[in-house]
Amino acid sequence: MPEQVRNEEHRVSGKELLARVKELVREGNVRRIIIKNPEGRTILDLPLTAGILGAALVPLFAAVGGIAALAAHYTVVVERVEPPRGTMVQ
């Protein structure tokens, strides 16, 4: 059975943006993070892979921090990967 992909949207302030993105990256089951401005235009599309390590995330976090200074509110779209039903997760 193929894996299931689920999208979620979170509204955050510019102050909360970087902390929320860091939290999502730590969760581990996030495949992609899309940051949209208040008008709904995509500002940043971050595909995440399982092999991404801490040092590789520094430029990503710097970009998100720079974007956070530009506007008051953002929408963070999260694409999560759910294991197929009936599959044991270790």
Give all domains of the chain, ordered by start, each with its CATH number: 4-82 (3.30.1490)
H or E element, residue 23: helix 14-27
What is the side-by-side order of every strand in the sheet holding 42-47? 4-13, 73-82, 30-36, 42-47
Q: What is the pLDDT of residue 74?
A: 86
Beta-carbon count within 10 A of 45 CB: 11
The confidence score (pLDDT) of residue 52 equals 61
Residue 15 is predicted with a pLDDT of 83
pLDDT given at position 56:
63
Using the Cα atoms of residue 78, residue 24, residue 30 and residue 50 in order, give the sign of their dihedral.
Answer: positive
> Which residue positions in the chain have pLDDT lower than 50?
none
Q: What is the pLDDT of residue 4?
A: 83
